[in-house]
Amino acid sequence: MLSAISSAKHSIFWESYIIDDDVEPDYNFFATLIEKAKAGVNIKIVLDGFGSFGLSSASRKKLVDAGVEICAFNSWFRRIHRKVLIVDGKVALLGGVNVGKKYKKWLDLQVRLTGKRIISALMKSFARSYFYCGGTDTELLRIREKSTIRKTELWLLENLPFTGRFMLPRYYKEKIAQAKTKIVIVTPYFIPHNWLMKALSTAVARGVSVEIIMPAKTDLSFINFANHLFAETMHKSGIKFYLTKDMIHAKVLLVDDVVGLVGSNNIDALSFDWNAEASVSFEQEEMVADLKIITEMWKKDSIPLAHSHLKKPFYYKFLAFIVRLIQPIL
């Protein structure tokens, strides 16, 4: 990501949930952004006001003084959870990667995207977020009105609650229903809707292998209760769970080794119903093959879940219920 920013000659459009201050000297986004802004590169940053509370006023002032425009999204119930970087209108990075010292240690994933159609779709999507966060650049705002071809080899799937667009739930329903042999899901937080639980159980019943890779322990202790409860429930229906030793933050769907998805959405109500999300679906053989290699590597380094791992105190179910109840406002 830093190398992409360093290569910028004309523009950097960046949308992120978390941008923290605690960057390391060899991974200093702020210094690079300031250098690029002073060199005349047009830089717009859309960030979530809650997620990026770790970005200090002093750091924001340095960026703004250098010419960077920062727009923050603030809402009680919704988040901009997308992580998209577009450089010079030619190259984009999209996935689950946040910026901060602790996130460098996590297992995460983003895809590098090129091509006129997918970049055009991402530019339009960014322009919409920019508009709803108060952006005023008229040239950029005009992009949000341009027509784009949605479904191509690289297909942008987005949830934009401020426009009423929710593409991800339908996509998951369709791809899981169409699966013939295998479904692999990677997620840090596994708090699925009833419709998703039913869809996965139905897939197992018709002979599809369903594998879910998630962390043995997340960065949010209260989410562990819910993760364990839903893993226990779905494990009984025949779904295989693999627990990574390190915190995994990647968001992946791989179906029949022929179609893949990488993006920002977790398996929870926040991502499916509330937050602004951006993911990309692809069927290109090379990309799917690479994704399969990565998921197999994570699975190999994980601990297969046995029922004995799931024995928890009686109050776990109660706490998990509370987490699921309040999660939409977290």
- Express each pLDDT in 298-308 by its tens digit: 999 999 987 54
CA distance 66 to 259: 42
pLDDT of residue 113: 96
Beta strands in the chain (DSSP E): 11-16, 42-48, 69-73, 84-87, 91-95, 110-114, 154-160, 165-166, 182-186, 209-215, 240-244, 252-255, 259-263, 277-282, 302-304
Mean pLDDT of 114-141: 93
Condensed to tens digits (0 to 9), the pLDDT of residues 247-262 reads 999 999 999 999 999 9
pLDDT of residue 102: 87
Residue 112 · residue 92 · CB < 8 Å: yes
Residue 83 · residue 94 · CB < 8 Å: yes
Residue 315 pLDDT class (50, 70, 90 cuts): low
Condensed to tens digits (0 to 9), the pLDDT of residues 20-56 reads 987 777 778 899 999 999 999 999 999 999 999 889 9
Looking at 68-77, 214-223, 275-284, 304-313, which range is the least confident one?
Answer: 304-313
Looking at 54-58, 171-175, 224-228, 321-325, which range is the least confident one?
Answer: 321-325
The domains located in the chain, with CATH, are: 2-149 (3.30.870.10), 166-329 (3.30.870.10)
Mean pLDDT of 99-110: 92
Residues 6+ apart with CB under 8 A from 24: 101, 104
CA distance 186 to 299: 10
pLDDT of residue 320: 63
Please report where in the chains the tokens 């926040």 appear, as a residue: 270
Condensed to tens digits (0 to 9), the pLDDT of residues 162-175 reads 888 899 999 999 99
Phi, psi for 93 (deg, rounded to 5)? -120, 130
Token couple for 137: 């650049």
| DSSP element (H, E) containing 35 | helix 29-38
| DSSP element (H, E) containing 123 | helix 116-132
Question: Strand, coil or helix: what is 298?
Answer: helix
Token couple for 246: 């390190």
